[in-house]
Amino acid sequence: MSNAKYNGCSRPFDVYQFISTGTLAGEIAVFLTCLLPSFSGREQVVASLIQGTLLLFVGSSWLMATFSDPTDETLKRFRTSARPEVDALFEHISANIAQYSYCTACQSFTEKGSKHCRRCNRCVSGFDHHCKWLNNCVGRANYRLFLAVLASVTLFACAFLFWGIYSFARFVRDPDYFRSFVSGVLSRSSMRSFTSSTWSPKTPESSRDPASPWGR
């Protein structure tokens, strides 16, 4: 059990973890740089509050589900308990053997109904499936957290889609608004480039040495 996973942040990592994180980061970037600037002042406040609240919901549920440990409780006790507690646990299992089963992979007794996950190399109580997006098993201990992740991501994506459709419909109805938005974006980018070029360090004319080849 030395190479058994404890949660979604235990190695090895899964590429789907990085895909899901990158997708969420991309949606946030599009919302902040493209959608939000197209709204009026009051609309920006409302959209920011809604998306910010949903993002907090997504992040908190995702972190809790990723760091949760759905490992079989009996297996946990064998893995972390001291010798006297293990002996007492053996006596309890012997007296209630019908409630337990033995996992040859974990080399330990587990609760009845637990299933061994080959990816995580551990038995999980009430095993449902192994989620690649969380890099963690979903079982009895974290099933509600998994449902919270699904609900929060769905709401966040639906709200993102709504703001996109709302902004696109405004551009279609009012071409002048679209042109003003584009010109505003271009002016902001040109202002940033102008500011960076203006504040870049330059050698003053008065401080140049005429005798130096770099001062000519």
Active site residues: 131
Both structure tokens of 70: 């759905």
Q: What is the DSSP string of 117-182?
A: ETTTTEEETT--EEETTTTEEE-TTTHHHHHHHHHHHHHHHHHHHHHHHHHHHHHHH-HHHHHHHH
Cβ contacts of 145-154, under 8 Å, gap ≥ 24 = 145/61, 145/64, 145/65, 145/68, 146/65, 148/57, 148/61, 148/64, 148/65, 149/58, 149/61, 149/62, 149/65, 151/61, 152/54, 152/57, 152/58, 152/61, 152/62, 153/58
